[in-house]
Structure formats: structure tokens, C-alpha cells
Structure 1
Amino acid sequence: MPVYYVNSYDITNMEEYARYGPPVAELLKKYGAEILAADLQAIGVEGSPRTMNAIIRFPSEAAALQCYSDPEYQPLKAIRWNSCSSGSMILVHGL
């Protein structure tokens, strides 16, 4: 069953954050993941959208959690943490 990372966070250092996306996109391929949507200009229908909003589909919960724990992702995660002020990354199960 597919699962989805729903990411929403505020970017505070766009220059540093620019180092995050390309290597993460490559890592996602290793786990069969696909970026379904990513937007720096989301429209808030209720509440206020964050700077970055993305939805990423993984083939399974195991693949999503393995990707998050992958040693290659740890320094990339640090880039995201250091270039963003707040946000969330949640795992949602598909139907």
C-alpha cells in the first residue's frame, strides 16, 4: 500500500536550502519514491501555507521510513533543519 510524506515548512535561508533538493531527489529514487507535488507558492484555503509544501509517494511504509533513516539522508536532513524555521513532515497511509 502506498504511503505519502506530506511536508510543510518555512524556509529561512533559501541559499542553504537550495543544496537540499537535488540530492534528496536522487535519494528518493533509491526507495521508489515519486514527488507528486512541490510548491513554494501554495495557496492557503484554510490557515497559512508554509514556504515549502510537498507530497511524496512511496511504495510502502517500510520504504518511506528506510529513506528517512538512510545514512545518506542524515546530512541532508541537517541542511533542511538549518535552513528552515518550522514545519512538519508527516507520513500518511494511502487508500
Structure 2
Amino acid sequence: MTALLIGNVGLIGDEQRMAEYRARVLHTLELYDGGFMIRGGEFETLEGEWTPTHLSVMVFPTGVHARRWYASPEYRAIVPLREGTHMDLILVEGE
């Protein structure tokens, strides 16, 4: 069952460190059979009041893969680079 991680980056704490995080995160996703479906880009709110700042959608074969990536030593090693940056991240599993 396909799993999507939907993330939104809000207020950025340190631009340089966040740039390094962004440069390194794809490699960590690929190690767990994941990748970006959408990374930034234009969006339009059609209903409600949610207005993301920088939206990303990552895809994995299963939720297990996504959770392994999130807990992985490779990803955990780069998480401190986004310290002070607000990030929302949700996991959605479906067909």
C-alpha cells in the first residue's frame, strides 16, 4: 500500500543549515525506497484556510518504509540541520 509523507516548511531558523538539509534529504529518502513526488512549486487553496509555505510530498512503497526512513540513522543525522525551523509532517497510507 503506497504511503505519502506530506510536509510543510514554515518559518526557517537558519537558511544555510536548512539549505544543507534540503541538499542531503533526498539521498536519505532513496535509501528507503522513497523519493519526492512534489518538492515546492505553486499551489492554490481550493477550500479551507490552509496555506502552506513550502509543500513537499514524498512517496514510499509502504508506511513501513516511510517509518523506517523517519527513524533511520541517516535521516536522524541531518535533522539537527533544521533546528529552529518549523516543519509539519504527516504520513498518509492508502491505495
TM-score w.r.t. structure 1 length?
0.83
Supply the distance in 1 between the matched residues of 2:44 and 2:20 (Cα, whole angstroms). Answer: 25
Residue 62 of structure 2, aligned match among 60, 63, 76? 60
Q: Which sections of structure 1, spanning at least 5 residues, go unmatched?
A: none
Higher strand share: 1
Runs of 4+ in 1 over 3 A off after TM superposition: 40-46
Aligned to 1:9: 9
Q: CA deviation at 1:72?
A: 1.4
Mapped pair 1:91 → 2:66: no
Supply the distance in 2 between the matched residues of 1:88 and 1:75 (Cα, whole angstroms). Answer: 19
Supply the distance in 2 between the matched residues of 1:47 and 1:87 (Cα, whole angstroms). Answer: 18
3-state SS of paired residue (1:18): helix
Structure 2 counterpart of 1:69, one-letter code: A
Judge which range, 55-64 or 41-50, deviates more: 41-50
Structure 1 counterpart of 2:94, one-letter code: G
Equivalent pair of 1:24/1:76 in contact (CA under 8 Å): yes
TM-score w.r.t. structure 2 length?
0.83
Query: What is the percent sequence identity of the aligned residues?
Result: 20
CA RMSD in angstroms comes to 1.8
Supply the distance in 2 between the matched residues of 1:62 and 1:11 (Cα, whole angstroms). Answer: 29
